[in-house]
Amino acid sequence: MKMIVAEGCTYNIKRRDDDFYERVYNLVKQIPFGRVSTYGLIAEALGAKSSARMVGWALNAVPLSDRQYEIPCHRVVNRLGELSGKLHFETPTIMREMLEAEDVEFTGDTVNLEKHLWKPAFSE
């Protein structure tokens, strides 16, 4: 099930047997303490540049228990550094608090990406 990524043509997630979610999780796990990444970069690293949305969907499917300990979902923000996923935590403030606990710096309600953005290594 290799996808051909010709220029302009991006990987299509459509397959049920795909391990897309797993690959998202593996990548998110690699985000270092005190750093953040974006939905778009993660999607792109997986060869699904146009499917940033599905990255969020995958994270939404992460069990609450894994959310804090196994998979650092709070380190994924949108491309402007906004905490677009905060409503999916136990309380709307948790996400920011977790980031601040890692000394992540904010400007207003957006993360200082200059300082904390982590770019995933391109896989495959």
Partner DNA sequence: GCCTTGACGTTAG
Partner DNA sequence: ACTAACGCCAAGG
By the rule CB under 7 A, 31 interacts with DNA: no
Q: Which residue from 26, 78, 96, 106 is in contact with DNA, where contact means CB under 7 A?
A: 78
Q: Which of 3, 52, 113, 117 is the binder for DNA (CB under 7 A)? A: 52
Nearest by Cα to 116 from 2, 24, 22, 34: 34
Which residue stretch of 10-18, 99-107, 113-121 sits at the interface with DNA (rule: CB under 7 A)? 10-18
Active site residues: 73
Is position 120 an interface residue for DNA (rule: CB under 7 A)?
A: no
**What is the DSSP-derived secondary structure letter of residue 82?**
B
Q: Which residues pair with 111 in a beta bridge?
A: 106
**Which of helix, strand or coil describes residue 70?**
coil
Q: What is the CA radius of gyration of the chain?
A: 14
Q: Is residue 99 at the binding interface for DNA, with CB under 7 A as the rule?
A: no
Contact between 27 and 123 (Cβ < 8 Å): yes
Binding site for DNA (CB under 7 A): 10, 12-14, 38-41, 50-57, 59-62, 67, 73-74, 76, 78-80, 84-85, 87-89
